[in-house]
Amino acid sequence: MKKNFFGTDGIRGSVGSYPITPDFMLKLGWAAGRVLGAEKGSKILVGKDTRISGYMIESALEAGLSAAGVDIQLLGPMPTPAIAYLTRTLKAQAGIVISASHNPFADNGIKFFSAEGTKLADDIEHAIEAELEKEITCCDSAVLGKASRITDAPGRYIEFCKNTFPADLNLKNLKVVVDCANGATYHIAPKVFAELGAELISIGDNPDGMNINNGYGSTHPENLQKEVLDQKADLGIAFDGDGDRLIMVDHEGELVDGDQLLYVMAMAAYAKGGLKGGVVGTLMTNLGLEHAFMQHEIPFSRAGVGDRYVMEQLLEKNWRLGGESSGHLICLEQTTTGDGIVAALQVLAAVVEQGKSLKELASGMKQYPMVLINVRVSEKPDLDNHAEIQAAVAQAEAKLAGSGRILLRPSGTEPLIRVMAEGQDKSLVESVANTLADMVKKALT
């Protein structure tokens, strides 16, 4: 059943435009409180990133939750995975994150976590949407929810992160640049790496409410690359605005994306006999990663695009490691959701244990050239049953002759068809992608 508000990762949009408005957030707090806080004495945690609009949304959610009779514990600016962790360890009924992740400051959104620190199941999101259809009411004054602030939340999460790093190792011989995207990790990540012994240079750590993701962070790594080279650092680490996404930079200033980091972590676990099954990627994971795993007979599976679909496959297969090229990396041995700081620590543990640079560790995976072309369409077609398009795809795959792959998929948020081709021969991949995109455009516009 289609959802009206929830997307693949909560609710997101431009602040001031429905549904990212004070009145909707008030009602969302009430609806979420009715569904998630139905038990007597329920409490829900609320955290946020550093956007200026977080104050407005936090207050509206707080009022709605209180009207539903749910106690609220405010965490202030905290990374998304920190809220998942604290929801679980503080035995709350749910956690709410106010964030639009890697989007610019004028956007904001809401993510939810269950009592177990995982994303909400579809049926729970449907139940919240059903409550949103009703008139808002207020419970009796005697049972209104109360709000309090957890002042030691940063310290709790810092210690948790440090404890995911092997106790017998330290970072004393590493010079590390950390880019916090002027986001939610600004007061967390630098302390984690410094307390583990790294010589630390921190950038993107001065949020003003409007500079989140602006020229810094995982989607804008240019400043990090420059700083790594200028400081002659061993590596750089970049998070997105809410800290659930990770991109790294090697000592030569070259980007190391989510696929490469997944390879480094998987091979480190494999070498110690601790991989526990295989690895889950997505439809967009580089073919080079799949081929690298094939060389070691490591099982690999592709999920739909989105970390929730990676998580679904991990749980179905009882595997422990998965992620996306964008840097959403899930390490279920350490935590319950994608966590940029925790994932970075697993990569750094491999660097320290093996005494190799990040560049050396990532070099075992060859990234194949990939071309992605967006074709704007008037409406989303049924690609699987479009004979002309399927014939064109078959023709493109024949040209690649087993040395690459083709993927066509509709965008989940825009009227676009994404045409992707990848393979070992760059010029061939570009030719195939452009030919297929032209054909799709002709057939659908």
Instruction: Name which of 394, 347, 44, 305 is nearest 171 in CA terms.
Output: 347
Alpha-carbon 241 to chain mean position: 10
- Return all residues near 361 (Cβ < 8 A) that are at least 6 apart: 264, 267, 268, 347, 350, 351, 354
Distances (CA, A) of 381 to 376, 386, 443: 12, 8, 10
53 is an active site residue: no
Among candidate residues 42, 53, 99, 101, the one labeled active-site is: 101
- Return all residues near 129 (Cβ < 8 A) that are at least 6 apart: 3, 4, 5, 6, 31
For 305, other C-beta atoms within 10 Å of its C-beta total 20
By annotation, the residues acting in catalysis are 101
